Amino acid sequence: MTVLGQLNSGSADIIQVQFILFAVIFTCCVHHDGVAALSGLPSNLSATLLENYDPMLRPDFGETNLFVSVSVLVASIEHISEVNMDFTMTIYFTQIWRDNRLQFDFGPDIKQITFDGRLADELWLPDTYFPNDKNTKLQDITVKNRQIRIRADGTVTYGLRLTVTAQCLMQLERFPHDTQMCYFTMESYGYTTDDISLLWDEPYHISGVENASLPEFDITKYDVASKIQYFTSGDYDRLYICFWFERRIGYFAFQTYMPSILTVMLAWVSFWINHEASSARVALGITTVLTMTTVFSSTRSSLPRFSYVKAIDLYLLICFLFVFVALLEYAFVNYNFWKIRRNKQKTKEKPTTRITNKDKMYNELLPQDDVVAIRLSTFNDYTSNESPDLPKKAATELVKHMDIRTRNSESLRKRRSPRYSNHQSPVLGFDNERFSRTSASRTRKRRCAAITCRCKMPIGEEVIVIDQYARAVFLLAFIAMNGTYWWYYIGRATTISQECGL
């Protein structure tokens, strides 16, 4: 120590060398103890355990039935399909049983050994299957996800990571305001209750459900159950995992209900459009009907074909009836409009000339324009030569009937004959040119009156009243329908009478 104290410059190096020597000695001692602890393990451990082991026979064969405890850890619930009537989830499925043939004693420090999953091919395993399974996949990334752990007393823990698609029979009468119960079942395929008893591993029978989530459902409840299933081949233990899924209505509120409500309100716009704008009202009505048909078809395409009516089908059907009746309302308004128009025209029309039996006789005797001209010429000759004292009353009557016959005659108006245009009756003092102008004037007046009658449309206060009543009636009826619908399917509590395992 005196020499070391004199060498102050080299004291730091000597301390470091001493520390390194101490660390090396300590490591060697620990390694020696570990080797001593593992020196009791045989070189081929699996061969030693499986010596004289028959994997074809179950444990305790011929003595008593074997108890197999089951536990499930739900990693995730991926999908629930109404069309396929199933749900998909990923689980860690664990089975525990005791096999006395696998007991070992390799020292007090070795209480259990975890083996590679390939050892499962050389052991006896329970033949558990899933009765309502549609598709099950063992995850194999990066290797097959299997676990084998054996304890010193022979207790075997066998774990698998599975993705299971199980059948779920749904009742969709209240869709999308429904709550569905889906279950997952486990059962021994070949061993009856005399050989194997399946039971839940308490208290770890099921876990992980609280962390699972779905975009369209809420998991409101879950439970486990067990019962004995009776078959002709024997009695078998069956285990149940039950999930209650309550559907979220948010998706359907924005995808179905809101478009339907807006389409019905759009159909009411036609009640504020003038009844004379037939093209606008008909186009609007047909558009809303086709829109509701499209929404109804797209909704039903995502669901299985059931014979019963679902809640969403009922709502869409009522909305479809509202837009269809709105279109029929315009047909009713248009029919009444033209009916009232015809009635008003009949009441306003007054005959300008009274036609008697004598008028009809003259019309039959003068069927052609030329005959009228001949009769008029004959009358003039007759009054000037043979009968100068013809009463003016008879002559006036003949001229009146001539006027009736000729005022609508196109040939006489077009025929500008000098013989008749400038002729003046000596007896009557009647100017034919003046008569032609008077007749043409009357014809023009009648034509203008007819055109005015055709162009002037009636006001139609009666049909406007129909639209006014429709605005109020449709609005109140739609509000009442929505109140009743939402009270029945949302306000009332949904009761599920079916229990897990029943």
Q: pLDDT tens digit string along 237-259?
A: 999 999 999 999 999 999 999 99
Is the predicted pLDDT of residue 144 greater than 50, yes or no?
A: yes
Q: How many Å apart are CA 492 and CA 66, to the nearest integer?
A: 48
- The four Cα atoms 474, 480, 484, 487 give a dihedral, to 10 degrees, of 120
pLDDT in tens, 373-397: 444 444 444 444 444 454 444 445 5
Asked if 259 contacts 315 with a C-beta cutoff of 8 angstroms, the reply is no
Burial of 2 (0-12, 13-18, 19+ CB in 10 A): exposed
CA distances to 271, 278, 282, 328, 405 from 288, in Å: 14, 16, 10, 13, 57
pLDDT in tens, 435-450: 455 555 555 555 555 4
> Residue 204's pLDDT is what?
82
What is the H or E stretch that residue 398 is in?
Answer: helix 392-406
- Cis-peptide, bond into residue 2, ω within 30° of zero: no
Asked if 162 contacts 184 with a C-beta cutoff of 8 angstroms, the reply is no
Largest CA distance in the chain: 190
Pairing relationship of beta strands 66-81 and 206-207 according to DSSP bridges = parallel
> Residue 411's pLDDT is what?
46
> Residue 193's pLDDT is what?
94
Is the predicted pLDDT of residue 424 greater than 60, yes or no?
A: no
> Residue 16's pLDDT is what?
60
Strand partners, 182: 243
Is the predicted pLDDT of residue 130 greater than 70, yes or no?
A: yes
Higher pLDDT, 398 or 214: 214
Residue 77 binned pLDDT confidence (cut-offs 50, 70, 90): very high
> Residue 20's pLDDT is what?
62
Is the predicted pLDDT of residue 176 greater than 70, yes or no?
A: yes
Higher pLDDT, 221 or 406: 221
> Residue 412's pLDDT is what?
44
Pairing relationship of beta strands 146-151 and 86-98 according to DSSP bridges = unpaired
Q: How many Å apart are CA 260 and CA 293, to the nearest integer?
A: 10
174-183 mean pLDDT: 93
- Cis-peptide, bond into residue 203, ω within 30° of zero: yes
- Cis-peptide, bond into residue 418, ω within 30° of zero: no
Average predicted confidence (pLDDT) for the chain: 77
Report which listed range, 164-168, 281-285, 402-406, is most confident: 164-168
> Residue 189's pLDDT is what?
95
The pair of structure tokens assigned to 213 is 């989530």
Asked if 88 contacts 65 with a C-beta cutoff of 8 angstroms, the reply is no
Residue 368 binned pLDDT confidence (cut-offs 50, 70, 90): very low
Is the predicted pLDDT of residue 398 greater than 50, yes or no?
A: no
> Residue 49's pLDDT is what?
82
Query: How many CB atoms lie under 10 A from the CB of residue 294?
Result: 12
Is the predicted pLDDT of residue 11 greater than 80, yes or no?
A: no
Cα–Cα nearest to 128, from 85, 160, 86, 87:
160
